[in-house]
A = this chain, B = another copy of it.
Amino acid sequence: MKSKITLKDIARELEVSISTVSKALKNSEEISRDTKEKVQAFARLYNYKPNNIAISLKNKRTKNIGVVIPDIVHHFFTTVIRGIEKYANAKGYNVIVCLSEESFDKEVINMEMLANGSIDGFIMSLSSETQAKKDFNHLKEVMEQGIPVVLFDRITNEIDCDKVIIDDKLGGYLATKKLIEQGKRKIALITTDDYLSVSKARGQGHRKALIDSGLEVDESRILKLPTMEMDEERIRSFFDSIEFDAVLCVNEIFAVFSMRVALEKGLKIPDDVAVIGFTNGLLSKYANPSLTVVAQHGEKMGEISAQMLIDKVESEKEEETFQTKILEPTLVVRDSTIN
């Protein structure tokens, strides 16, 4: 086992000083061609690579980005990670992924773990517990230490930082409008409690579309689940309790499951019931029938988040100007609505 070679090793072997080696490897003008060639050849031969940790300590830059998300199994977050990874990697950064699993405590622990020098900045989406609790001290502390934070998707207005979201209200609006245009009048909404920022906004868009079209908002057609967790029982009994000719859901799982319930009831999709979900994932694409969704452009969101963060990290100036990027949601029309 040949352990990693260091500057010191090279210096010893070649009987020069460490700094000479360091400079030679950087092709410094100060060093003679002879020495440079000798050192570089030796370094190449032994495959010298500088130790990242030492460089981090010196530069106070780790070239690591901490990504804290509630969940990795939901397709949306997966695509965001991919976007972050793509951009970050191209810029020479690594991505450390931590899962809060919707738990406030885990979110706090993860952030503390990373904030002690392991990363240059955070990209995160709040856990549902955090949004419910409205306790953002862990974010404030991190920011006070000068660590930049970019929030995406599940954000809060109580923290001043860069943010990337899609216009969820518009998403809810577009989807509902689409259903109305197709002649649907009894549109059900399956969402979560309002503390989740995205659900709230989507619900508002839904409501606005109804009102704009002169339809009444029937609260009994709205099912608010406590979390994004699937609850087959409640969704089933919800559908048993109402009349509906369309369903809008805040994620694709609820939507696909709604289609199953509808099919089981002998209803035809999209003629008897049209269904729209959020998140343009595999599920939507390969469901039978395929699902019309509001695409959230997760990968794009990840790229933008990474870009904003890295810009902040690498900008010398300590300008405290934060921006919120709002992406446009897109309706991806498939077979669960009428074409």
Contact = CB atoms under 8 A, between A and B. Distances in A.
Q: How many copies of this chain does the complex contain?
A: 2
A286 B75 contact: no
A78 interface: yes
Chain B CB count within 10 A is highest, among A89, A92, A112, A263, for: A89
A200 to B, nearest CB: 25
Nearest to A109: B89
B117 A99 contact: no
Interface string A48-72: 0111111011000010100000001
A81 interface: yes
Given A51-B117, A85-B99, A98-B85, A144 B288 contact: no
Contacts of A286: 253, 256-257, 260, 283, 287
Contacts of A337: none
A198 B218 CA distance: 52
A256 to B, nearest CB: 4
A94 B98 CA distance: 7
Nearest to A254: B286
Interface residues of A, number: 56
Contacts of A287: 256, 286-288
Looking at A110, A287, A318, the one whose CB has the most chain B CB atoms below 10 A away is: A287
Interface in A103-140: 110, 112-118
A53 B49 contact: no
A258 B48 CA distance: 51
A184 interface: no
A317 interface: no
B94 A95 contact: no
Nearest to A141: B47
Contacts of A38: none
B288 A259 contact: yes
A89 B82 contact: no
A45 interface: no
A117 B64 contact: no
A116 B283 contact: no
A112 B49 contact: yes
Given A78-B72, A97-B97, A1 B146 contact: yes
Interface string A219-257: 000000000000000000000000000000000010011
A201 B318 CA distance: 56
A290 B128 CA distance: 29
A192 interface: no
Closest 5 CB pairs of A and B: A51-B117, A52-B117, A53-B117, A256-B286, A288-B288
Interface of A: 1-4, 47, 49-54, 56-57, 62, 64, 72-73, 75, 78-79, 81-82, 85, 89, 92, 94-99, 110, 112-118, 141, 144-146, 253, 256-257, 259-260, 263, 282-283, 286-289, 318
Given A72-B82, A288-B288, 6 more contacts: A2-B144, A52-B118, A54-B117, A85-B98, A92-B113, A260-B288
